[in-house]
């Protein structure tokens, strides 16, 4: 058997390596994992947009000596099958490099341990030119004007990651990516940002606040008991939540917990590994995302030795749970959706509340079909139709049927999803209108029976005093 060494064309390989699908915020989160694994208590992110975009992340973790830093810069520096500490958020030893390369062409890491500073750098242009993985040891003095270098010098230990030659973004719009980064980190690391042993993360001098996607501080949030399942001897904790209906929240709160993706896209599973949120807002094809279930969010907690059971990728942004797990998840879904629709079905039943005479009814057409229709038993409807001249009856009747037929359901649904607190439908009927109606009706010399039927309507159920005072 003959063999020969065929080295990859690094120029082409690097292009492929850079296009593994990282977004800016996911890449930063991947690098930040290393700081948490290094037991950092404070992580500082600072960016500069002009004259060129520079990204810096400083932590006060354990730091690295020369040898440790060199190993950390090695691609695939870890065996993914090796046992890790429970707090280790990495696996492949690729995150720092692949995340950094996806955003920039020059990665420099300075690290301080035992009061001694070390520095190493990957320059992708230099590697492409030489067609060799040549790790550079730059002159530290060349970085004295880079943000956060002075702060690292003042620490006893810590690590500073620097991205330069960031070629994926426009410096004029880079601020939009920073705002998206803040929201992403507040969500992904919300458990680390809260509690007794919390860490501090700042982005451009602004400290992040934790964003718990389950809105646990609202009393109307329904938390369903945690279920523990075991797969291949490993524990999986599953806790479903049903978020509050918009009528149980303020406008600001409703908007905040809808996230940038909206409630419909944010429903589903939220997978945490060692307290770090990996995947969120997905049903993994086990259920369809529909409006009626938009308040359902299901928390899953796993340890960091279960990656192969969940198909977690290098970016920690996609997963594909194995069939044995999917069967349990299907069962959980079927149980929780019964609770998830209650905030809507309770309100939906009100239209058929027999104690109140409604303007609208749900009308069955067949065993499976229905429509919304005007309540023709309503006393005002009957009074109106009985007094309409015969020559105008058909015209008004057609108008009312058209009102029913062309009810703008899609627009109503869309606006209720996106901005329910801004919808003020009841303002169409003012108190003055109701008073004027009462005056007209009383002038007709109403019977006691008709008055009682009026008092059961939506108009007067909560405004009885208007009728009594007229």
Lowest mean pLDDT among 145-154, 409-418, 461-470: 461-470
Which of the listed residues 146, 173, 207 is the one where a domain comes to its end? 207
Residues 129 and 97 in one domain: yes
User: Could you give the residue ranges of the DSSP H alpha helices within 261-388?
Assistant: 262-266, 307-310, 323-340, 342-349, 379-387
pLDDT at 98 over 60: yes
CA-based nearest residue to 236, from 269, 195, 190, 189: 269
Residue 30 lies in a domain: yes
CATH number at residue 226: 3.30.230
Q: Which of residues 345, 372, 388 is at a domain's end?
A: 345
Residues 186 and 330 in one domain: no
Predicted local distance difference test score (pLDDT) of residue 466: 62
344 burial type by CB count under 10 A (0-12 exposed, 13-18 middle, 19+ buried):
middle
Distance CA 108, CA 55 (A): 11
The CATH number of the domain where 17 resides is what? 3.30.565.10
Domain-located, residue 216 = no
**Strand partners for 361:** 373
Q: What is the pLDDT of residue 464?
A: 65
Domain-embedded: residue 197 = yes
Q: Which domain holds residue 413?
A: 354-469
In a domain, 452, yes or no: yes
> Residue 179's pLDDT is what?
94
Q: How many CA atoms lie within 13 A of 19 on its CB side?
A: 5
pLDDT for residue 416 is more than 60: yes
pLDDT at 231 over 60: yes
Is the same domain home to 329 and 190? no
The average pLDDT across 74-85 equals 58
- pLDDT given for residue 6 in this prediction: 78
CB atoms < 10 A from the CB of 330, how many?
14
pLDDT at residue number 366: 75
Phi, psi of 162 (to 5 degrees): -125, 130
**Other Cβ atoms closer than 10 A to 102:** 20
What digits encode the pLDDT tens for the residues 319-337?
889 998 999 999 999 999 8
pLDDT digits 0-9 by tens, 23-68: 999 999 999 999 999 999 999 999 998 889 999 999 999 999 999 9
- Do 268 and 292 fall into the same domain? yes
% of the chain at pLDDT higher than 90: 50
In the chain, the percentage of residues whose pLDDT exceeds 70 is 91
Give the model confidence (pLDDT) of 163-198 as tens digits. Answer: 999 998 888 888 899 999 999 999 999 999 998 889
Distance (Å, rounded) from C-alpha 186 to C-alpha 45?
13
| Predicted TM-score of the model (pTM) | 0.79
H helix and E strand count, the chain: 19, 15
My answer on whether 31 and 172 are in the same domain is yes
Domain count, the chain: 3
Please tell me the distance from the alpha carbon of residue 57 to that of residue 402, in angstroms, as a whole number: 62
Buried b (16+ CB within 10 A) or exposed e, 372-410: ebbbeebbbeeeeeeeeeeeeeeeeeeebeeeeeeeeee
Q: Which two tokens stand for residue 224?
A: 């369903």
Average pLDDT, the chain: 86
- Examine the pLDDT at 78 and tell me if it is beyond 70: no
Structure confidence at residue 183 (pLDDT): 96
Are 194 and 255 within one domain? no
Asked if 110 and 124 touch (Cβ cutoff 8 Å), the reply is no
Same-domain check for residues 105 and 232? no
CA–CA distance, 125 with 30 (Å, rounded to integer):
23
Q: Inform me whether the pLDDT recorded for 89 exceeds 60.
A: no
3-state helix, strand, coil in the chain (%, to 5): 40, 20, 40
């Amino acid at each position: 058997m003959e063999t020969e060494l065929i080295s990859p064309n690094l120029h082409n390989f690097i292009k492929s390596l850079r296009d593994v699908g990282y977004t800016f915020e996911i890449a930063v989160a991947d690098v930040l994992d290393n700081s948490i694994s290094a037991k950092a208590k404070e992580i500082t992110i600072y960016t500069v947009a002009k004259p060129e975009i520079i990204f810096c992340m400083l932590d006060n973790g354990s730091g690295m000596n020369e040898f440790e830093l060199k190993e950390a810069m090695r691609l695939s520096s870890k065996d993914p099958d090796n046992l890790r500490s429970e707090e280790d958020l990495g696996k492949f030893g690729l995150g720092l490099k692949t995340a950094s390369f996806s955003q920039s062409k020059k990665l420099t890491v300075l690290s301080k341990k035992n009061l001694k500073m070390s520095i190493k750098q990957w320059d992708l242009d230099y590697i492409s030119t030489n067609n060799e993985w040549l790790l550079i040891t730059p002159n530290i003095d060349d970085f004295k004007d880079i943000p956060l270098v002075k702060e690292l010098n003042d620490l006893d230990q810590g690590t500073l990651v620097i991205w330069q030659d960031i070629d994926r973004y426009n410096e004029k719009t880079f601020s939009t990516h920073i705002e998206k980064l803040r929201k992403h980190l507040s969500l992904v690391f919300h458990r680390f940002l809260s509690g007794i042993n919390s860490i501090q993360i700042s982005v451009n001098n602004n400290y992040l606040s934790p964003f718990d996607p389950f809105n646990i501080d609202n009393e109307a949030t329904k938390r369903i008991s945690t279920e523990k399942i075991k797969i291949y001897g490993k524990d999986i904790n599953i806790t479903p939540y049903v978020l509050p209906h918009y009528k149980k929240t303020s406008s600001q709160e409703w908007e905040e917990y809808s996230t940038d993706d909206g409630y419909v896209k944010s429903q589903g599973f939220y997978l945490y590994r060692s307290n770090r949120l990996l995947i969120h807002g997905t049903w993994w094809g086990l259920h369809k995302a529909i409006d009626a279930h938009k308040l359902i969010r299901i928390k899953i907690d796993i340890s960091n030795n279960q990656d192969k059971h969940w198909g977690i990728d290098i970016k920690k942004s996609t997963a594909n749970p194995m069939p044995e797990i999917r069967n349990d998840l299907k069962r959980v879904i079927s149980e929780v959706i019964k609770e998830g629709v209650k905030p809507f079905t309770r309100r939906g039943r009100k239209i058929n509340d027999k104690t109140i005479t409604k303007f609208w009814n749900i009308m069955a057409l067949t065993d499976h079909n229905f429509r919304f229709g005007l309540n023709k038993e309503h006393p005002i409807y009957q009074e109106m139709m009985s007094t309409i001249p015969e020559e105008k009856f058909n015209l008004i009747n057609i108008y009312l049927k058209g009102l029913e037929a062309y009810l703008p359901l899609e627009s109503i649904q869309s606006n209720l999803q996106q901005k329910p607190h801004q919808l003020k439908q009841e303002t169409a009927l003012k108190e003055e209108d109701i008073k004027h109606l009462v005056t007209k009706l009383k002038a007709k010399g109403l019977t006691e029976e008709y008055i009682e039927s009026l008092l059961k309507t939506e108009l007067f159920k909560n405004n009885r005093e208007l009728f009594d005072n007229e």
